[in-house]
A = this chain, B = another copy of it.
Amino acid sequence: MAKVSRKPLWHISLLDNATVKKHIYIYSPSGAVRDKAAFKRGVKRLQTLGHEVEVDPDALASHMRFAGDDATRLAAIHRAAASGADVAMISRGGYGLSRILGGIQYKAVAKAIARGTQFVGISDFTAFQQAVLAKTGSITWAGPALCEGFGVGGKPDQVDGHGHGETPQPDEIMEDCFNDLLLGQGEGAGWRQHRDTAANANYHLKGATLWGGNLAMLASLLGTPYFPEIKGGVLFLEDVGEHPYRVERWLTQLLHAGVLARQKAIVFGQFTEFKLNPHDKGFNLSTVQQWLKSQIKAPVLTNLPYGHVATKVLLPVGAHVDLVVEGRDALILWGHEV
């Protein structure tokens, strides 16, 4: 029986709360891990959940802002691909994949995926995901990084108004979705759109390629061989700390490049931690979305629970999905494909 849990959103899963020991490989293809306590907590959390956690020898390497120099990070990616793990998860995002895209052995990554290794990550990892999709058509997962996803906690949370702090835990929805991935039982994700942006429409789009992730990273691939040529896709986007004018400029680039006109739907995830300034005078993420709607025929959805937030779903980048929309409610369904 499909389980549908409503928390602020739904994840759709075949089985209930099953757990099983999996092999998880942790590596660092992007920024250096600075919060080593979060890293340790993340590893411990995955172990507590019953998994075997293998840490790449250079997972904590540091070279300027990077987790090791370019050769080090490339070798880490290739060790992750050769690990035979069930999941290869990045330690964190940051910046660093762009400059090593030309050195990745995409066939080796595709073989690892075919053998059953699921690559999971977020943010800077978007570059890797689109490149893998462009070069091999293989599916990777937009989802947590170790530190921000499983390494939360540490000092007791003092915001509890009752004086007794609680140690923050990894988000329950995120962990449920991650467990679905490990068990191969995830079938989709649903959520409720923002009231002001939801069109009064019901539709069911079938067999569209789901792709996207971090908007800055996606736009940074335009014009390069690492940008997937997806037609009739469902493109999802998120970003953090980026002013809406930058968001609009990147969307404009995707628009002018003809990318948006080729999609069946554009789905906004969470855009967080940006700061408007007095000169914006009403210009904000909402006006950006309205402007986008005036430029394309495809529906523009909002509030997908994905991005630089605790509560997020996992999404198969490159999978064929159905998108079901009933007013504010939306579902992305990938069934048994992945």
Contact = CB atoms under 8 A, between A and B. Distances in A.
Interface of A: 31-32, 34, 62, 64-66, 95, 98-99, 101-102, 216, 219-227, 245, 248-250, 252-253, 256-257, 259, 279-283, 287, 291
Contact of A279 (B34, B99, B227): B34
Contacts of A279: 31-32, 34, 65
Contacts of A223: 222-223, 227, 253, 256-257, 259
Given A222-B223, A249-B95, A102 B256 contact: yes
Contacts of A280: 64-65
Given A64-B280, A220-B249, 14 more contacts: A31-B279, A32-B279, A34-B279, A95-B245, A95-B248, A95-B249, A99-B248, A99-B252, A102-B256, A216-B249, A220-B253, A221-B256, A223-B257, A224-B256
A258 to B, nearest CB: 8
Copies, count: 2
Q: Which of A99, A221, A282, A287 has the most CB of B within 10 A?
A: A99
Given A222-B223, A223-B223, A249-B95, A101 B256 contact: yes
Q: Which of A102, A224, A226, A281 has the most CB of B within 10 A?
A: A224
6 nearest CB pairs, A to B: A222-B223, A224-B256, A223-B223, A64-B283, A223-B257, A65-B283
B62 A281 contact: yes
A281 B64 contact: yes
Nearest to A259: B223
A19 B280 CA distance: 40
Contacts of A66: 283
Given A95-B245, A245-B65, A252 B283 contact: no
Given A64-B281, A64-B282, A279-B31, A224 B253 contact: yes
A22 B31 CA distance: 54
Contacts of A249: 95, 98, 216, 220
A126 B265 CA distance: 31
Nearest to A252: B98
Contact of A253 (B31, B221, B248, B282): B221
Nearest to A62: B281
Q: Which of A220, A223, A250 has the most CB of B within 10 A?
A: A223
